[in-house]
Structures are given as structure tokens and as C-alpha cells.
Amino acid sequence: MSKTPQVGIFKEGSPHFYFLEYHFRSTDVSQVKAAIASCINVFSEVFVVVSFGKNAWQLVQPNWMPATLTSFKMLKGQQGHQAPSTQADLFFWLHGDDISTVFDVALHIDKQMKRVANLNLQERGFSYHQNRDLIDFEDGTANPKTDELKREAAVIAKGLAGEGGCLVLSQKWVHDLDKWNAIPVHCQEAVVGRTKVENIELEGDAMPDDSHISRTDLKVEGVPMKIYRRSAPFGSVTEKGLFFLAFGCELVRFSSQLESMYGLTEDQKIDQLLNFSKAVTGSYWFAPSQEDLAEALGVE
């Protein structure tokens, strides 16, 4: 029987999100496992997806790891842009319909985790005007549509180490909205590669090869680098942007897109979006299947 991805990964439609990252402090593995185990299945109405950095997974499950899992390494782009690494050990992604219960679960998780770990990042995400990013373009349109295609893009295949689990990329991107809103809509459309209101992909000569779509709609050795994106806007009137979150069946799905965005390719072109938004965190994670998570934590 195939293993089951964590339920929250594919559950769509929540308007409220919370992101928490931790560095382990305790070297007592059984204490760490007990703390994590007490953070899952807290309230049925809040989905909690738990993911591990490479070193953390090695600690809780020394017997195997997904073949392509690595820690996030900083990228230095062609024109001075950087994607920093802030790789931590543990990542909780929470989502639900009601901010009160989502926040209750965040508080519960923090209470449990602070016994064994230090908080590395906390961010609250929200849905904005029907799936729009704060740059006011719809986000997630080109995501795989059917359950089968989502799984094909996001879930490690049967028979491989980590089957039923997902590789994960998270990056907090801070937007310069003053700069973005100062350029005309047709220029914004050329940066994204889609129209703003109708959300239609630009075609032919109208699609610049340094648009966000051109840099991320990729094939490597004939294989489309499909991923399943679950990003959400975050922030306040001062610091705001996109908490980019994506699930993939292999790490190259993310690394090829990032390299293309930062111009680390033959054509050396950078994604024009980089001139309006800056990555300030970056981590790769492994979200094990429900069965592998339970086994690693020693719970039923």
C-alpha cells in the first residue's frame, strides 16, 4: 500500500496561515520527538504540516532520507541579488478557516517546542482578494489542477526513500510595493508574464524571456519542473510580501527554478521580479508521509 502525504498539504481554501521555524537546542532525541509529537493533531479544524531540515531528519530517523534532500545554500545572482539561506531544523505550516483556532495552535506548538528548540521564524499569512499576491496578481493559477497532477508534482514516488512525502521550499520574500506600484500596469504584466486583471499568460513576442513565468516554467532534460505552490501573503503596513511555499517530488524542481530566476543559467538573465521583491529567508525541508512521521516520532 502506498504511504499517505500529510493531509494539510493538499487541503486548499484556508484563509489563515501561520509559519513557525525552530532550531533544535536539546540533544536529547526522545525529548525532541515527544515535543514534536505533541504538536500534531491538536485541533481537527486546524491543519498542521510538519517538515524537517536535512540534519533534523537525520536525527529523528537515522536509517534513511530522501535521495535529493539537502540544506538550502545561498544563491548569488548575476546582478547582485541574493537568496540567503536561513536553514533551520523544523518547520510548521498551519492553516485553517478561523484565525482564533489557528493562533491557538501556534501558541500550543510554541509552548511545546520552546522546551527543546529556539524559534527561528514566525509569520502570519492571509489570503488576499481571492488568491492575489500583494503585487495584485493572482498567484497559483498555473498550479497542477487535478489531484493526480498535484501528487505527481509534489509527492515522492512509490518505491523511493521518502515515498508519500514531499520536498519543500520555503522563502520569505519582502516586496517593495512603492517601487512596484510606481510602474505602469503593462510593465508589471511584462515582469510577471501574465495580464493583471484577466490573468492571461502573455504570448509570443509579448512574453519577455526575463518575466517571472519565463524563468520558472521550465523543463530539465525534457521533464517539466512542475511544483505545487501554497504561498501566502504576509506582513504589516511596514514589512510585507509573499511567504513562498512549494512542495515537489525532487529538489531539482526548486533549484532549477531558483537558478533560472537568479540568472545562474547560460543566458544569465534574471527574473525581473527580483527588482521588486527580495528573498530574506530560505530553507529546504522534507515533509514525511503520515506513516513515516509516526514511525520517526514513535507514535501510533
Minimum distance of ligand HEM from residue 161's CB (angstroms): 23
Site mask for ligand HEM (CB under 6 A), range 204-243, x = bound? --------xx--xx---------x--------------x-
Please name every residue paired with 214 in a beta bridge, in sequence order, or none if there are none.
Answer: none
Which is closer to ligand HEM, CB of 227 or CB of 296?
A: 227
User: Distance between CA 206 and CA 31 in Å, rounded?
Assistant: 57
Residue least distant from ligand HEM (Cβ)? 142
User: Distance between CA 16 and CA 126 in Å, rounded?
Assistant: 5
Q: Is 244 in the site for ligand HEM (CB under 6 A)?
A: yes
Near ligand HEM by CB under 6 A: residue from 81, 95, 150, 194? 194
**Do 164 and 292 meet the contact criterion of CB atoms below 8 Å apart?**
yes
**Do 123 and 95 meet the contact criterion of CB atoms below 8 Å apart?**
no
**Do 112 and 35 meet the contact criterion of CB atoms below 8 Å apart?**
yes
Take residue 63 and report the three cell numbers written for it. Answer: 536509517
Minimum distance of ligand HEM from residue 61's CB (angstroms): 26
**Do 9 and 287 meet the contact criterion of CB atoms below 8 Å apart?**
yes
User: Distance between CA 211 and CA 195 in Å, rounded?
Assistant: 12
* Residues whose CB falls within 8 Å of the CB of residue 86, separated by 6 or more in sequence, listed in order: 21, 72, 120, 121, 280, 281, 282, 283
Q: Of 157, 7, 161, 139, which is closest to residue 69 (Cα–Cα)?
A: 161
Which is closer to ligand HEM, CB of 62 or CB of 224?
A: 224
Q: Is 258 in the site for ligand HEM (CB under 6 A)?
A: yes
Which is closer to ligand HEM, CB of 101 or CB of 143?
A: 143
Per the residue annotation, which of 89, 133, 139, 271 is the catalytic one?
139
Cell 525552530, residue? 22
Which is closer to ligand HEM, CB of 76 or CB of 115?
A: 76
Which is closer to ligand HEM, CB of 111 or CB of 179?
A: 179
139 is catalytic: yes
Alpha helices in 114-155 (DSSP H): 147-154
Q: Is 192 in the site for ligand HEM (CB under 6 A)?
A: yes
* Residues 129-188 close enough to bind ligand HEM by CB under 6 A: 133, 135, 137-142, 171, 173
Binding site for ligand HEM (CB under 6 A): 133, 135, 137-142, 171, 173, 192, 194, 212-213, 216-217, 227, 242, 244, 254, 257-258, 273, 277
What residues are labeled active site?
139
